[in-house]
A and B are shown apart, each in its own frame.
Chain A
Amino acid sequence: MKKVKADPKGVLTGAHYLDGDYAIAEGGLAAGCRFFGGYPITPSTETAEHFAGRIPKVGGIFIQMEDELASMASLIGAVWGGQKAMTVTSGPGFSLMMENIGLACMMEIPLVIANVQRGGPSTGLPTLTGQQDMMQAKWGSHGDYEIIALCPDSPQECFDLTIDAFNLSETYRVPVFVMTDECVGHMHEKVIIPPAEEIDVVERKWYTGPVGEYLPYKNDKDGIPFLARVGEGHRFHTTGLTHDERGYPVINAECQKVNVTHIIEKIRGNADKIIRIEENDTEGAEIVVISYGITSRVAVRAVQQAKKAGIKIGTLRLITAWPFPEKRIKQLAKKVKAFVFPEINYGQMVREVERASGNSCKVVSVPHCGGWVHDPQDILDAIKEAVK
């Protein structure tokens, strides 16, 4: 993994008052993204609009494709063309992207997809918030694969985590999702964009061997294959079919095992390096509130009130939703009385907590169907119930 400093052309250094959607676009530009293929969908459009305005002055391409199937396909093409590429969407568009997200996983393509989540299913609540695509991010395309998903809880984190998303995608040759939501996407806050020389950018792991000998799926020492771009004389082949090191299709169970194991284990095997969580007061806590995105900010009030009421309470915020921090949850499960998990869905990530904690402690889901954030009182009630 080679780190370089960000290209100053894409970095809008300074203190800004931005919403989360704009901050995602700025994060992408700072990370070196020079290709954006998108399709308008509420509540994510501001990212595309902002990118479209900025890119001609930075040097790169913004193209509004005819649909989300096309935007995902164009991203994969753009990466083989040598660019860093991203798109933004919301629920219905995310669904349409799924097949080509599978192609990106199979072809091992670094790219970033931001999902500004809204209430679903179907057209649902286009302008109102939700956190209902968390499982879809992990399982939405057919077959077995692994991805990385990050959950910003503020416009500042939208900026920071979009850069991290690009860096992770280049490190592991994998699609990375920035799973934000309508509230964070439309919330205006102060966003500090540091000078370019303070932003670390992971450079693509370019193949530098002899021309004509490039094998797109031959693993390097770290288990991640090199990337080449079109037009450099390698004349390589790649496919969505199960393939060997050359990228040639091999249709049998043996090759399938090698292929699928690789795209899964390169993430699971590095989960400890990828996972990021934020813990407060979990030491000695009897209740730990787990949350992510906007819900972690709503939960703060409930946690303060619980503390006032004398409950020993801590918080754990998922910055990385996928891979899921199951080791840490397992450890904590043995020490706490209960986990309380509010999320703006009918109970999605809470299943991972249940799975990881076994029967070591209670796991209390605080679901919300979407359209607005939790009333802190509901979270407080769940905490009080859990502590009994």
Chain B
Amino acid sequence: MKKVEKREPKNPMENILRMDRIPHIWCAGCGIGTVVTSFAEAIKKNKEDLDKLAVVSGIGCTGRVAGYVKLDSFHTTHGRAIPFATGLKLAKPDTKVVVFSGDGDLSGIGGNHLIHAARRNMDLLVICVNNFNYAMTGGQVASTTPLTANASTAPYGNYEYAFSLPYLAEAAGATYVARWTALHLRRVTKSIQEALNRKGFSFIEVITPCVTLYARRNRLGDGLNLLKYYYEQAEIIHGADTRTVDIDYQGKLIVGKFVEKDKPDYLTAMNNHFTNVLGDDYQLYGRINHEKD
């Protein structure tokens, strides 16, 4: 197999973006692009092997990330990025698999998969961009919309209690949980770097303004204003008890690295267990990957 000659990259992110798909579809002032920048930066700093890194997205605004990163990238069905990624990871354990999707995709329609992948401590990094609403479809209320916030299907304000995603992820078994706002560029980058360097289920929530829908409906100013507002409302408490990190409408945002613990990931646990109970009868799975560790 002959290796194709590579051009000199022009844009600093060109080697991880599909430049032939730019411009992207995100609105001016949206924070998703910022999170992608942090992701690209983390990959660069970590010197990740770009050939061994895959991105899986579901459906929605953040679901489009898979279409813009020049990695093995999969744009799947609504809510099913995590089980798709689970199959991918288990079939090819030496590939690092990142799920990049939105709050509605991951915690609404895909909530069941989120908790089960966390429970299994599946070796996945889930980056959840939370903009508090279903943006792609027009700003409908979500499982993350704070109480009283207005949404197109909650025109008199939301009266449903919202998920606190870090609490949910930790309770379900995630072994790395962090939350930042999109303006915490370096912090997001560092969290992604840390997560990529570990094994197990990592969950990073990034609070992001939805300028066109959530911000406009709730008269919260333009994207930059809201981005700054979230940043200013953020209080960094590393190791905060995730039971205390609920998000109130336009209220204080507790951010930081909440959880980081060692626990064998799914494949390690599986291999250890089968080796113990089956001995030589067991055909060790994913051996290459484990020899590297």
Interface, chain A (partner B; CB < 8 A): 9, 35, 37, 56-61, 63, 65-67, 69-71, 73-83, 85, 99-100, 103, 208-213, 229-241, 248-249
11 examples of A-B residue contacts, CB within 8 angstroms: A35-B90, A35-B91, A61-B285, A70-B83, A77-B84, A77-B88, A212-B6, A230-B72, A236-B72, A236-B73, A240-B77
Asked if B71 contacts A235 (CB within 8 A), the reply is yes
Asked if A100 contacts B77 (CB within 8 A), the reply is yes
Contacts of A58 in B (CB 8 A): 283
The 3 closest A-B CB pairs, nearest first, are A81-B91, A77-B87, A59-B283
Asked if A78 contacts B50 (CB within 8 A), the reply is no
Tell me which of A77, A208, A231 contacts B83 (CB under 8 A): A77
Apart from the given pairs A81-B87, A235-B70, A248-B67, 14 other A-B contacts in the complex at a CB distance below 8 Å? A56-B285, A65-B116, A69-B79, A70-B86, A73-B113, A74-B84, A76-B76, A76-B87, A77-B87, A79-B87, A81-B89, A81-B92, A211-B1, A231-B54
Asked if A75 contacts B87 (CB within 8 A), the reply is yes
- Known A-B contacts A56-B278, A85-B87, A103-B77; the reply to A210 vs B2 at CB < 8 A is yes
Q: Is B186's CB within 8 Å of the partner chain A?
A: no
Return B184 CB to nearest CB of chain A, in Å: 28
Asked if A70 contacts B1 (CB within 8 A), the reply is no
| Closest Cβ neighbor of B2 among chain A residues | A210
Asked if A76 contacts B282 (CB within 8 A), the reply is no
Return B134 CB to nearest CB of chain A, in Å: 18
Asked if B95 contacts A231 (CB within 8 A), the reply is yes
Asked if B285 contacts A59 (CB within 8 A), the reply is yes
- Expressed in whole angstroms, the Cα–Cα distance for A71 and B116 within the complex equals 12
- Known A-B contacts A66-B112, A73-B87; the reply to A239 vs B67 at CB < 8 A is yes
Contacts of A79 in B (CB 8 A): 87, 91
- Expressed in whole angstroms, the Cα–Cα distance for A77 and B92 within the complex equals 10
Asked if B76 contacts A73 (CB within 8 A), the reply is yes
Asked if B95 contacts A103 (CB within 8 A), the reply is no
Asked if A66 contacts B91 (CB within 8 A), the reply is no
Return A381 CB to nearest CB of chain B, in Å: 47
| Closest Cβ neighbor of B109 among chain A residues | A69
Asked if A235 contacts B50 (CB within 8 A), the reply is yes
Tell me which of B73, B87, B112 contacts A37 (CB under 8 A): B87
| Closest Cβ neighbor of A61 among chain B residues | B90
| Closest Cβ neighbor of B53 among chain A residues | A231
Asked if B116 contacts A66 (CB within 8 A), the reply is yes
- Known A-B contacts A35-B91, A81-B91; the reply to A231 vs B51 at CB < 8 A is yes
Asked if A76 contacts B72 (CB within 8 A), the reply is no
- Expressed in whole angstroms, the Cα–Cα distance for A229 and B4 within the complex equals 18
| Closest Cβ neighbor of B88 among chain A residues | A77
- Expressed in whole angstroms, the Cα–Cα distance for A99 and B79 within the complex equals 11
Asked if A230 contacts B88 (CB within 8 A), the reply is yes
Tell me which of B2, B51, B82, B88 contacts A81 (CB under 8 A): B88
Return B4 CB to nearest CB of chain A, in Å: 4
- Known A-B contacts A81-B90, A211-B4, A230-B72; the reply to A235 vs B51 at CB < 8 A is yes
Return B40 CB to nearest CB of chain A, in Å: 14
Q: Is B228's CB within 8 Å of the partner chain A?
A: no
1/0 per residue, CB under 8 A from A, across B76-119: the answer is 11011011111111111011000000000000000011001000
- Expressed in whole angstroms, the Cα–Cα distance for A115 and B66 within the complex equals 32
Return A214 CB to nearest CB of chain B, in Å: 10
Return B17 CB to nearest CB of chain A, in Å: 11
Asked if B77 contacts A61 (CB within 8 A), the reply is no
Q: Is B257's CB within 8 Å of the partner chain A?
A: no
Contacts of B284 in A (CB 8 A): 59
Interface, chain B (partner A; CB < 8 A): 1-4, 6, 18, 20-21, 50-52, 54, 56, 66-67, 70-77, 79-80, 82-92, 94-95, 112-113, 116, 274, 278, 281-285
- Known A-B contacts A57-B283, A66-B113, A69-B80; the reply to A210 vs B4 at CB < 8 A is yes
Contacts of B92 in A (CB 8 A): 81-82, 229-231
Contacts of A74 in B (CB 8 A): 83-84, 86-87, 90
Asked if B77 contacts A212 (CB within 8 A), the reply is no
Contacts of A99 in B (CB 8 A): 77, 80
Return B63 CB to nearest CB of chain A, in Å: 10
Return B36 CB to nearest CB of chain A, in Å: 15
- Expressed in whole angstroms, the Cα–Cα distance for A77 and B124 within the complex equals 13
Asked if B91 contacts A83 (CB within 8 A), the reply is yes
- Known A-B contacts A63-B86, A66-B116, A231-B95; the reply to A237 vs B18 at CB < 8 A is yes
Contacts of B85 in A (CB 8 A): 77
Contacts of B67 in A (CB 8 A): 237, 239, 248-249
- Known A-B contacts A66-B116, A80-B74, A103-B76; the reply to A237 vs B66 at CB < 8 A is yes
Contacts of A249 in B (CB 8 A): 67, 75
| Closest Cβ neighbor of A99 among chain B residues | B77
A77, A83, A210, A240: most-surrounded residue (chain B CB, <10 A): A77
Contacts of B79 in A (CB 8 A): 69
Contacts of B83 in A (CB 8 A): 37, 65-66, 69-71, 73-74, 77
Contacts of A81 in B (CB 8 A): 87-92, 95
Contacts of B282 in A (CB 8 A): 56-57
- Expressed in whole angstroms, the Cα–Cα distance for A56 and B6 within the complex equals 42
- Expressed in whole angstroms, the Cα–Cα distance for A99 and B67 within the complex equals 20
| Closest Cβ neighbor of A239 among chain B residues | B75
Return B117 CB to nearest CB of chain A, in Å: 9
- Expressed in whole angstroms, the Cα–Cα distance for A65 and B70 within the complex equals 29
| Closest Cβ neighbor of B74 among chain A residues | A238
Asked if B21 contacts A248 (CB within 8 A), the reply is yes
Tell me which of B51, B70, B75, B84 contacts A241 (CB under 8 A): B75
Return A11 CB to nearest CB of chain B, in Å: 14
- Expressed in whole angstroms, the Cα–Cα distance for A37 and B54 within the complex equals 20
